[in-house]
Structure 1
Amino acid sequence: QVQSKTIRAALVRYNFTTRSLTPRRRKLTWDEVVEHAFLSDFDILWDPTSNVALRDWATQGGRQLMDSFFRIEQAKEEIPWLNIEIWYLAT
């Protein structure tokens, strides 16, 4: 929502500014902006030369390793909060 409002505001400013340019630029519509953004997102993500299934992170062992890593990172973030809770329970 916020990004949409920001993009719409930028589009309004752009269309307003194009009136003062020489030579004039054509106005853009919201549909054109959304279409370009939508297509560019897929162009960036799509790589026809790579097989994702062969990546290390796509294997079962790689996924398990990532899961373990992120669980450990989450546990590290929780330790300070647990120390506070332990202090409250002990007093």
Structure 2
Amino acid sequence: MKPKRQPVDWEEVVEYAFLSEFDILRNTREDIRERPWAVPANCVIITQFFKVIGAEDELSRVHQEIRRLITYMQPEKNELITRERELMPTNPTLALQVRNFRPERGRFYEVHKKRLLSITKLPGFDWSTNSKYFFPGTPVE
């Protein structure tokens, strides 16, 4: 190049976040800053596009986890009541601890039920395609 350009060392390269910050690229034959993939607005759109694609991929996993959570909550409540009744004659102090633990778990369940219900109120939520995920399945023993 004429005139000679200042050499770029590795530390400088690592510091640059965008291609437009490379002075060496500004004086080449082709200005890549004008390329569609180098325009900042297009970069934002592409990033959002890939986030949407990623969200669609995660949706099936979210459905699976919702179903598992709902399936887990009801049997555990019944299990704690059963264990408390079984322990009362033989170990009343442990039965008391189980009794004290039940309301804590109940609050946990209520918070999560409200959050799951708030999902159903989101715009675009369709009960006809999603209702099967919001009911308990068969618990795994």
Shorter-chain TM range is 0.3 to 0.5
TM-score (norm 2): 0.29
Q: Give 1 or 2 for the bigger CA radius of gyration.
A: 2
Higher RCO (C-alpha 8 Å, min separation 6): 2
Normalised by the size of structure 1, how large is the TM-score?
0.44
